[in-house]
Amino acid sequence: MAQIFHRSANSLARMSILGGVFILVTVGAVLAELQRSPYVTRQHEARVQNPPFSHKHHVGGMGLDCRYCHTSVENSNFAGIPPTKTCMNCHAQIWSTQEMLAPVRESYRTGKPLVWERVHDLPDFVYFDHSIHVSKGVGCQSCHGQVNEMPFMYMEHSLQMEWCLSCHRQPEKYLRPQTVQVDVKEDENHKIVDEGRTEEGNIFSMKYEPPSVQNPVYVKLAGQPTQKFTDQLELGRILRDQYHVRNVADITSCSTCHR
């Protein structure tokens, strides 16, 4: 029987297969990067609220503690959204006639809650517990960024699974002590001669910096004298044991977050 296709058809077939594979891989890679991009995650996208609430003003300027508004962060999976009464604790006397705060006064008068656009919104199939992370030494700043510098709130991180796992695989890189010692004095041999005073609320501080040679952190662990730390991993390993953080296999298990 006469040959139907020219020999070059073999080359064309191979090229078509390779081209198809290349296109599929390229499209897959592009979609994977798009799925991680701020366009999809809305990372670093400032959300304008009504009324226009500024964390920079309230936290950075006024020095409000996170727990003043987010009252359940230490004992609940949900950090909590403050009721209008919390706003009016101050604004019944401060800026009490400003037009920009009219929605707050109206909410307080009618009892109808303010409607905020949610910034950190995890999918329904993800379980996240604020109280567990706080009790294990994960600071607000680690996930939410420097909110004291945000006029309008935005997501500092993508909150995607790969980002969460980067912490769960090495929690010691991010753990911080619940309390630190300040005003500590050392002698010429760098031996601690005055343990200073204890400063609490370190988990909620926006000023905390991981220990380094230039910025040592002094911690008084249970039943021990004050110790000086200049390395985050060294401190983190000790805190991981002190906080009884479960092993990496447990905290990276699918069932930990997908219940």
Q: Give the pLDDT band (50/70/90) at residue 5.
A: low
> Per residue in 20-46, pLDDT tens?
888 899 888 888 888 888 888 899 999
Q: Where are the domains of the chain?
A: 126-259
- pLDDT on residue 237: 96
> Per residue in 42-82, pLDDT tens?
999 999 898 999 999 999 999 999 999 999 999 999 999 99
Q: Is the pLDDT of residue 13 over 80?
A: no
- What CA–CA distance (Å, rounded) separates 152 from 119? 10
- What CA–CA distance (Å, rounded) separates 11 from 120? 53
Residue 142's identity, in one-letter code, is S
CA-based angle 3:5:6, to the nearest 5?
95
Q: Is the pLDDT of residue 1 over 60?
A: no
- pLDDT on residue 78: 95
> Per residue in 163-186, pLDDT tens?
999 999 999 999 999 999 999 999
Q: What is the DSSP letter of 175?
A: B
What's the mean pLDDT in 88-96? 94
CB 113 within 8 Å of CB 84 = yes
> Per residue in 185-223, pLDDT tens?
999 988 999 999 999 989 999 999 999 999 999 999 887
Give the HSE-up count for residue 10: Cα atoms under 13 Å, Cβ half-sphere.
3
Q: What percent of the chain has pLDDT over 70?
A: 97
CB 221 within 8 Å of CB 183 = no
- pLDDT on residue 214: 93
- Tell me the average pLDDT of the chain: 92
Of the candidates 140, 76, 131, 128, the one whose C-alpha atom is nearest the C-alpha of residue 243 is 131
